[in-house]
Structure 1
Amino acid sequence: MTVLEGFAGAGGLSEGARMIGLAPTLGFEVNADACRTARAAGHPRVQADVRALDPARLGGTEGWISGPPCPTYAASGKRSGRADYGAVLAAVEHLADTQRPRCFLDGIGAEVTDPRTALVLETLDLALSLPRLRWLVAEQVPAVAGIWREMAAELAAMHRWDACTVLTLRADDFGAATRRTRVFLIATRDGAPDLTGLPYRNRWDCQRFGPGPTDRPPHPLTPFPATSMAAALGWPTGVRVNTRGNRQTSGGNEFSADRPALSLTGNGARTWYRTDHGPTAGRLTDRDAGRLQTFPPDYPWHGSRSARFQRIADAVPPVMAAAVLGAATRRPWQHAVWNRLTDLYGHTRPDVPHTRTCTDRPDAPQLDLFTLPMPKEETAA
């Protein structure tokens, strides 16, 4: 196994990896429903805490994908991570300098308001601990951009990583029917990532050699078509979606389905419904929600309705994941994204016939997990 995923969830980044032929990756995840979902979709999972990983037993790892939980940083959460932001930034520098990272991480986890806030630091810990690591991709909500930049600066300046980039991306720029925004850290040891054709809202670079950190202007041009929520789900035009029942907020409680959907949240999207069908018949299904995120319509979500929607909301849209992982590993990714958009939404790439590749298949070969060294399994909290 050469690619590991931490906080791997139900398979958003795993799907992206499979789309570009990078699969199978081996994911570590504590949530049982997420593990069952990913395994049923053909993505290897170990139900274990990332903090239990022993880097000494994973020395052959060449790629590290990290998606730490975001509730303490997200605008839709309690935002407790904002209060500990300075402590986490300081911890990045200390972690990069310490000789005993595990002891230090255990200490900072006990100091922050919510222990989940410190889990972003596991991204840097594994990046520093895996001796053969060649590339890293990490994702989070936009509020974590400053932490990713601090990690990037440490990797480039002190640990011989050639190029580090922090990108703000939005899913609808890749043709998805949702406006989900995520910030990615891409770090590479062998030259720079290939960002050709990647539409980004914000970009920040730092390099081992050359000029210092650089902010670049947005690259708004996208080769992919816009997809409305109505078009993605086969609804007629003019449909409106209720998001909060009878509760009114300054932003209202409805939006038009004739544009990409709002970013899905676990507690929010499960209560959405078509106003023309009513709150029972018009409820969004898990397949609908997954389709908006560019998961296949038959993706095998597991758990209760609340659990399924939480897994969907936690996931990175696969088309966006495929693009970022392709850029980091310098693999072609645009054709794979177009294939997914064609399969889901009927879009056709101009002047290029649609052909399916073996990496689109959910039954792609898997590695035998029992032949790999594994950390002690832990059940979900």
Structure 2
Amino acid sequence: MTTQPRPRVLEGFAGAGGLSEGARMLNLGPTLGYEIHPNACATATAAGHARVRADIRTLAPAGLEGLEGWVSGPPCPTYSASGKRTGRSDLDIVIGGAQTLFAQTSADAHTATYRQVADERSALVLETLRFALGIEGLQWIVAEQVPAVERIWWEFAASLATAYWESCDVITLRADDFGLPTRRTRRFLVAAREYTPDFSGLPIRSWWWTGRNREPEVLLPQLWTPFPRVSMAAALGWPAGVRVNTRGARKTAGGNEFSADGPAPGLTYTARSWWRTDLGSVDGRLEPWQAGVLQGFPPDYPWQGSRTSQFQQAADAVPPLMAAAVLGAATGRPWQGAVWERLDQLHDAAQPAAA
């Protein structure tokens, strides 16, 4: 019987494997992910990522040993612009819940937050801080969410800085800045206990920082990117001039079509209804593997479950190239070469020779 090596990195809300793929690209591991949804677990397991199916709220961080990093990607529907945005009305409650966690009042006080919010999914983001504070000896943290959680990430960063973490950054990244054909935008919390991460070369669109005994600062963004701009059409091997229908005949203020000659909008599960207007709604419909490629997964990534579930998994995932870059910066590992290697595999975009 083969014994699995003890994980060095623990993932919460690990999903189908976006952050796991990023860790694999860096040879950062071994990792172990907790995930509640069976299809996402099945996909990640089929792709070779270790998963335990569990509700993270039922798990205790106390007693976890030998971990270097904690990675967390709590679900975002209540905060996302594509959802009902109930999380935005729950922001003050969630921030109060973070303060309760930091004060270490009681487990009952933490669970009470779930009863106070309009949608309990809004409070799941608190598990990021609960594990960050509860895992003894942790050296670094990477957590991601939609841009609307900015205030929550600030609160978490301030709490960690007060607990004597050396550096706590909240940064905004966009997928097309990493050579991906989608404008997916994510907000990351990156914290290091004993050092300051090197974010050189990371295309940062907004940047907030605090640290041990330091007042928060807004730092200048780093907008330059070395990576190519890749269109949806080029990524999927389509001819120029293709348009994609997103809403059938239903018209909205933003229209119901976009050109594939640029990056696609950020994916949600509704991409299952996208189709090429030149081929029609049957022959031209987007397939799950194509949604995965737009996010930076290999074409043969083993998505499991129904069509709707596969699109949901792909849309929920952090783009692996973005994940590799952030994990590399957080841990001091070279990451640019890994990103270029994946871009070359996906889009024949080889890294330029050094001058």
TM-score w.r.t. length of structure 2: 0.96
Are 1:221 and 2:227 matched, yes or no?
A: no
Q: Could you tell me how far apart the structure 2 residues matched to 1:178 and 1:2 are? A: 31
Residues 232-381 of structure 1 mapped to structure 2, 5 A cutoff? 232-266=235-269, 268-351=270-353
Are 1:146 and 2:148 matched, yes or no?
A: no
1:204 is aligned, of 208, 220, 225, to 208
Match of 2:124 in 1: 119
1:199-225 Cα offsets, whole Å, 9 max, x none, are: 01100000104x411111221100100
Q: Could you tell me how far apart the structure 1 residues matched to 2:67 and 2:229 are? A: 37
Match of 1:378 in 2: none
Task: Identify unmatched segments of 5+ residues in structure 2.
Answer: 1-6
Match of 2:114 in 1: 109
Q: What amino acid is aligned across from residue 135 of structure 1 in structure 2?
A: W
Task: Identify unmatched segments of 5+ residues in structure 1.
Answer: 353-381
Are 1:55 and 2:61 matched, yes or no?
A: yes
Q: Could you tell me how far apart the structure 2 residues matched to 1:76 and 1:30 are? A: 22
Match of 1:195 in 2: 199
Match of 1:130 in 2: 135
Q: Secondary structure at the match of 1:213?
A: strand
Q: What amino acid is aligned across from residue 341 of structure 1 in structure 2?
A: L
Are 1:3 and 2:9 matched, yes or no?
A: yes
Q: Secondary structure at the match of 1:227?
A: coil
Shift of 1:119: 0.5
Match of 2:19 in 1: 13
Q: What amino acid is aligned across from residue 305 of structure 1 in structure 2?
A: R
Q: What amino acid is aligned across from residue 121 of structure 1 in structure 2?
A: L
User: More relative contact order in 1 or in 2 (CA 8 Å, sep 6+)?
Assistant: 1
Shift of 1:54: 2.2
1:40-85 Cα offsets, whole Å, 9 max, x none, are: 0000000001112222331322210000010010000011111111
Q: Could you tell me how far apart the structure 2 residues matched to 1:53 and 1:146 are? A: 26
Shift of 1:92: 1.4
Match of 2:178 in 1: 174
CA contact (8 A) 1:203 1:216 kept: yes
Q: Secondary structure at the match of 2:215?
A: coil
Q: Could you tell me how far apart the structure 1 residues matched to 2:111 and 2:66 are? A: 25
CA contact (8 A) 2:8 2:30 kept: no
Q: Could you tell me how far apart the structure 2 residues matched to 1:184 and 1:281 are? A: 38
1:99-143 Cα offsets, whole Å, 9 max, x none, are: 42x322211011111111101000000011011111001000000
Q: Could you tell me how far apart the structure 1 residues matched to 2:183 and 2:109 are? A: 37
CA contact (8 A) 2:164 2:211 kept: no
Aligned residues: 348
Shift of 1:255: 0.4
Match of 1:372 in 2: none
1:150-193 Cα offsets, whole Å, 9 max, x none, are: 11011102x11100000010000011111000000001012111
Q: Could you tell me how far apart the structure 1 residues matched to 2:177 and 2:245 are? A: 24
Q: Secondary structure at the match of 2:52?
A: strand
CA contact (8 A) 1:73 1:141 kept: yes
Bigger mean CA deviation after superposition, 309-318 or 81-90: 81-90
CA contact (8 A) 2:161 2:210 kept: yes
Q: What amino acid is aligned across from residue 224 of structure 2 in structure 1?
A: L
Q: Secondary structure at the match of 1:183?
A: strand
Q: Could you tell me how far apart the structure 2 residues matched to 1:188 and 1:80 are? A: 31
